[in-house]
Amino acid sequence: MSTDVVWPVSVQWAQLTLRPLSMRDRAEWDSVRYRNREWLEPWEASNPLPGGDPPTYRQFVRLMRAQAKQGTCLPWLITELNPDTCRHELVGQLSVSSIIGGSFRSASLGYWVDAAQAGRGIAPMAVAMATDYCFQHLNLHRMEINIRPENVKSLRVVEKLGFRDEGLRKDFLHISGHWRDHRSFALTSPEVPRGLVHRFTGSDEPMSVRTGRTRRARQGYPEESTAS
């Protein structure tokens, strides 16, 4: 059973926006992904079946869009307003997946950030925004993030945000050609009554949630020493 997910939807706080992935993003997507291929390869999901090729960009977008319309996924790009160009630039991706309603009301979250932007607080800020949206607008109860024990930078993100370590999951996901152990982290809505953005930033400034095009933002967000 899925929740009443509204799609497309964008979430904005300060210069950072989570917005839907689209076909028109391909050129910028390909450029950022190619530049980050060595940075991302150790953490990339892979197909365990023989001969399983990764999807093309078009296939990937169509699959994510279909899942979003089914209410089981929120496939967002992470974009940041460049004050010099007044343009929102692609700095990463965040997807909320396995969205389940009913008596479970839970989801999982995964993300990556451009290596050139690491250490600036983008990853934890994006995770906080996505989690608050799911808790406050979808009425989910629990958010889960699974991270390889070797991924020190991502571990730092969940530590900063106060996600609980729920232990090791053996051979949890097929990553970079092998079944890999993951540590599971979780947070429930009652643990952050004022929201995860407030916990991370200390600010009561509300997020902007809207469908369609996003607005420009004016204020900054806190610096972060390490981010995935």
Over the stretch 168-225, which tens digit does the pLDDT of each residue have? Answer: 999 999 998 899 999 999 999 999 999 999 999 999 999 999 875 444 333 343 433 3
Query: Which is more confident, 162 or 228?
Result: 162
Quick one: pLDDT at residue 212?
59
Three-state DSSP at 43 gives helix
Highest average pLDDT, of 54-63, 79-88, 124-133, 203-212, comes from 124-133
Rounded Cα distance, 5 and 94, in Å: 16
The two tokens of residue 113 are 């950030």
Task: Please tell me the distance from the alpha carbon of residue 142 to that of residue 101, in angstroms, as a whole number.
Answer: 11
- Round to whole Å and give the CA distance between 175 and 171: 10
Tokens linked to 82: 């460049």
Are 144 and 107 in contact by the 8 Å Cβ rule? The answer is yes
CA angle 193, 127, 105 (to 5 degrees): 60
How far, in Å, CA of 18 to CA of 96, rounded? 11
Contact 51, 177 (CB under 8 A): no
Counting residues of the chain whose pLDDT is more than 90, the rounded percentage is 76
- Which residues lie below 8 Å from residue 198, measured CB to CB, with a gap of 6+? 192, 204
Please give the average per-residue pLDDT across 47-55, as a whole number: 78
pLDDT of residue 126: 98
Which secondary-structure segment (H or E) carries 13? strand 10-13
Provide the pLDDT for residue 222. 41
Place of tokens 């540590």: 183
User: Looking at the predicted structure, is the pLDDT value of residue 105 above 60?
Assistant: yes
H helices of the chain, in order, are 26-35, 37-40, 57-70, 122-137, 152-161, 196-201
